Amino acid sequence: MTGDKQRLELAKWLFERTLSWIASSDVKVGVALALDTALIGGLAAAFVASEPTSRLWWCYLVIVLTTIGLVAAMFCAGMAAIPRMLGPVHSMIYFGRIAEQTESAFVEGFSKTSEKAFLDDIVTQIYRNSQIASEKHLWVRASKPARAHGNPSMRGLPVSGHQTPGNNVSDFEGAESNEIADFDEAFRVRQLL
């Protein structure tokens, strides 16, 4: 019996660990969604604040690529945030199965549950929670490259062109060569950083 008691204590500890792994991914998701929302808001604010004549063709390209990356990152983070409610068919631990019973049925069933049955229930929960934690962390991990792709500062590109005398597209005929010069300047500045 001592062996079962020790295994039960170990299983309880491991069960708590798997729950903390799920909570860890949920915290990361909250930060990721806040960051993605802030980046999209900053992008929108920078776009609206920029002078329409200073928006060069590559600025629109950056905005589209950034938006695609951030939306993909938000999708991945959202997938990690979705609760996984599929639990074991019979359980005295899983809240979904407990809530399906009446109070008196749960109390009676719990009082009749042996240590061995309780240990088996906890081990089943550990396995299922490990699957949930793995899936959530995979989605969190998938959101990172999408966010990096969606953040223009990580690529070294400004959100919009700056307006200086002679840099306005409508000011002169040679706008194409000036756009290329601005693009090259952006990369040189990024390399210096």
Give residue 26's pLDDT: 87
Side chain identity, residue 2: T
Give residue 170's pLDDT: 41
28 burial class (0-12, 13-18, 19+ CB within 10 angstroms)? Answer: buried
163/175 Cα distance (integer angstroms): 13
Task: Confirm whether pTM is higher than 0.75.
Answer: no
89 burial class (0-12, 13-18, 19+ CB within 10 angstroms)? Answer: exposed
Give residue 2's pLDDT: 58
Q: Are 116 and 4 in contact (CB under 8 A)?
A: yes
117/153 Cα distance (integer angstroms): 55
Phi, psi of 151 (to 5 degrees): -105, 110
Stretches where the chain sits below pLDDT 50 are: 1, 154, 156-184, 186-193
Give residue 59's pLDDT: 79
Give residue 75's pLDDT: 92
97/109 Cα distance (integer angstroms): 12
